[in-house]
């Protein structure tokens, strides 16, 4: 796991684009992609490796990035009124929870704050949860990524509220009935009655999707299939 200093973080890229997944698909956001993850998903397609530098709106930033310098630049660039929200993404952004907190405190109510997390660093999420406006939480299944599932952890995370959070589930053809059952049980315990479903790499199998959707709906959970639109459209 990467080390961090309070006001310095390794950032892979900062860019303006359109949200391609989950409930807010289509929203124009400022993405801050932190380096590092701490989970080793089989088939991860995100480039969250450390880079020497990156460019944003014509300015070059060198890693580890001075978070105050980045926040000041974002504030002065005048882009906050042209976006839906700032998306903290990764990798796993919660490995840099102090930097996220600093950015939110620095920029204040000039925009909304959106976090995309893999759902494994729940203690860190709890610490900054109140400051965030929207939290997209991945449900990770062993069958899809060959890692430990986080469904049991999520069951016990009582601070997660429906009004600001939603769950995203990426599946592939290896999903099994017990996993679906455990996800439904977790959602019911938390009183969440909707979920956003993606197929890994957009390799959709319609009959499987249809069967899974039927199971969710028959358990009173609204499930929405969303293709990973940024991949379809060639966005970042
Ligand atoms: S949690 Fe996300 S970024 Fe991390 S390895 Fe898995 S797919 Fe990649």
Joined tokens for residue 230:
């940024």
CA pair distance 31, 176, nearest whole angstrom = 34
Dist CA 59 CA 157 (whole Å): 40
Distance 138 CA to ligand 1 centre (A): 10
Give distance in angstroms: CA of 144 to centre of ligand 1.
12
Which protein residue has the closest C-alpha to ligand 1 atom 1?
Answer: 118
Angle between helices 67-77 and 97-107 (to 10 degrees): 30
Question: What is the CA 161 to chain-centroid distance, rounded?
Answer: 16
* DSSP-based three-state secondary structure for 175: coil
- pLDDT < 50 regions, the chain: 1, 3, 5
Pocket of ligand 1 (CB under 6 A): 37, 39-41, 44, 46, 48, 90-92, 118
CA gap 108, 223 in Å, rounded: 34
Q: d(Cα 103, Cα 124) in Å, to the nearest integer?
A: 16
Atom of ligand 1 nearest to the CA of 91: 3
Neighbours of 71 (CB within 10 A): 18
With the most atoms of ligand 1 within 8 angstroms of its CB, the residue from 35, 41, 43, 47 to mutate is: 41
- 91 Cα–ligand 1 center, Å: 6
Q: How far is the CA of 218 from the centre of ligand 1 (A)?
A: 30
> What local confidence, expressed as pLDDT, does residue 47 receive?
86
Task: Give the Cα separation of 188 and 116 in Å (integer).
Answer: 22
For the stretch 45-79, pLDDT in tens is: 888 888 999 999 999 999 999 999 999 999 999 99
- From the list 188, 176, 172, 175, the residue with the least C-alpha distance to 221 is 188
Specify the pLDDT at position 48: 85
pLDDT of residue 6: 62
Residue with tokens 């997944």: 21
Q: Angle at Cα 189 formed by Cα 25 and Cα 125, nearest 5°?
A: 55
**CA 200 remoteness from chain centre:** 15
Q: What is the pLDDT of residue 185?
A: 98
Instruction: Report the pLDDT value the prediction gives residue 225, as an integer from 0 to 100.
Output: 96
With a CB cutoff of 8 Å and minimum separation 6, the contacts of 226 are 21, 22, 25, 196, 197, 198
């Amino acid at each position: 796991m990467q080390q961090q200093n309070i006001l310095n973080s390794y950032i892979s890229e900062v860019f303006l684009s359109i949200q391609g997944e989950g409930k807010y698909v289509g929203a124009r956001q400022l993405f801050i992609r932190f380096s590092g993850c701490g989970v080793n998903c089989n088939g991860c397609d995100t480039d969250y490796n450390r880079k020497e530098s990156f460019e944003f709106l014509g300015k070059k930033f060198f890693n580890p990035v001075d978070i105050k310098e980045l926040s000041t630049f974002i504030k002065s660039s005048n882009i906050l009124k042209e976006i839906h929200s700032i998306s903290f993404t990764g990798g796993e952004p919660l490995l840099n929870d102090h930097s996220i907190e600093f950015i939110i405190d620095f920029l204040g109510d000039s925009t909304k704050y959106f976090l995309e997390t893999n759902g494994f660093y729940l203690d860190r999420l709890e610490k900054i949860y109140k400051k965030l406006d929207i939290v997209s939480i991945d449900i990770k299944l062993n069958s899809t990524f060959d890692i430990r599932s986080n469904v049991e952890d999520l069951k016990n995370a009582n601070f997660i509220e429906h009004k600001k959070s939603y769950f995203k589930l990426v599946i592939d053809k290896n999903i099994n009935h017990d996993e679906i059952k455990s996800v439904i049980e977790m959602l019911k315990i938390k009183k969440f009655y909707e979920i956003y479903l993606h197929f890994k790499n957009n390799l959709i199998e319609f009959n499987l999707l249809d069967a899974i959707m039927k199971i969710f709906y028959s358990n009173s959970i609204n499930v929405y299939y969303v293709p990973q639109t940024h991949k379809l459209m060639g966005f970042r």
